[in-house]
Amino acid sequence: MSYQPPLEQFEFCQQQPELAYFDSAASCQVPQSVLTKLLDYYQHQHANVHRASYARGRAATQCYEQARRDCAQAIGATAAQVSFQASTTSALNGLAQQLPVAWQAGDEILLSSAEHHANILPWQRLAAQHDLRLRFISLDRASGELGEWQHLLGPRTKVVSLTLASNITGTRFALEPILAAAQQQGAWTIVDAAQAVAHEQLAVTQLGADAVVFSAHKAYGVAGCAVLWLSQALLAASEPFTVGGGIVTGVTKSHANLVTGIHKFEAGTPNVGAAVAAASGLAWLQQQQQLGLHDYLQALRQQLWQQLQQRAWLTLLPTGKQHTPVIAFYSDEFQAHDIATWLDQHQIAVRAGHHCAQILLQDWQLPAVVRVSLAAYNTPAQIERLVAALDAGWQLFAD
């Protein structure tokens, strides 16, 4: 492995060198350069953006709009089509409520069984409001890939909303054919890229989606900001997700004239600091990818996969042909939460449970699984520590 994990760029690696953090699919740790950028904004430019008549306010606006341009460039888009939202969850809720669809009872929304709850609950609520039908593409239990979908996409399908990668198995799904077929028949298409953004160079205009969204804290940024890209068609046709200050040209007692363009989705005071950090995190990630991060993490994942496969008391979930550096497993002998607690006692942080993806685990009849997700600060030595701790637990408790 020629890539050298930049441990010196993460404060937690210096303060807690004994901690092996394997929960980056939930939230990445933040590089010092991103934190420095965030602090610099608050110390030297922070003010309320837009419409400010003073220099510091103009500086804050410049920071915010530059962050938009930088995030757009990172995903192969133009700034005029990129909105900052509070989170992926918030963006998906906004899309569900404001999609330009004249809903009729019996219309259909197509999801997959791999969706995070954030991409299920908004559609469930919408379905209850309009008497709609949710349909789900199943996952193949042997391969982890999406199953047959052609028979689920019909004339009543108005929306297709799918995750680009599973947050449990790590499978990177081949969505492009599904999205192309959906758009051909006039359905709106949405991609939740939260689990993919840290592990591939997103090219949003090539996915065939009308909306792509991801949270910055999944890509070495901080919480409080999601990047939402909208196609020109959806941007023009959609109403604002929320209304309030910052998106009007004029207001009377009975009416408000709203701005057009991407800013209509950003009512209220935005989280400028988190947007600045999002752009900085994506820039840091791109630099690391150029240094070989992707191949390094895939090699780490393969090291762990081979080790876990040798433990007969563990069962690994399938990960598909393409995958992020995520592995999930379970044991018939031990509960997932007990395994995670044991590892925590050895300064190893993993996540156990249903991972906000209960439908998939219900389909596979699993109550909970342990998930290990890798990032730039993980090392081969940490993989060996994880495996050794699992073996120690097995030897201690198996009898």
- Establish whether 28 is a catalytic residue: no
Distance CA 200, CA 219 (A): 11
Distance CA 194, CA 324 (A): 12
| CA 335-341-347 angle, 5° bins | 145
Say if CB 152 and CB 135 are below 8 A apart: yes
> Which one of 13, 28, 225, 356 is the catalytic residue?
356
Distance CA 128, CA 187 (A): 20
Say if CB 84 and CB 222 are below 8 A apart: no
Say if CB 323 and CB 307 are below 8 A apart: no
H or E stretch including 179?
Answer: helix 176-184
Distance CA 359, CA 93 (A): 19
Class of residue 396 by CB neighbours under 10 A (exposed 0-12, middle 13-18, buried 19+): exposed
Distance CA 275, CA 67 (A): 6
Say if CB 213 and CB 229 are below 8 A apart: yes
Instruction: List phi, psi (to 5°) of 52.
Output: -80, 140
Encoded tokens for 270: 């935005």
Instruction: List phi, psi (to 5°) of 397.
Output: -110, -10
Sign of CA dihedral 31, 32, 34, 35: positive
Which positions are annotated as active-site residues?
356
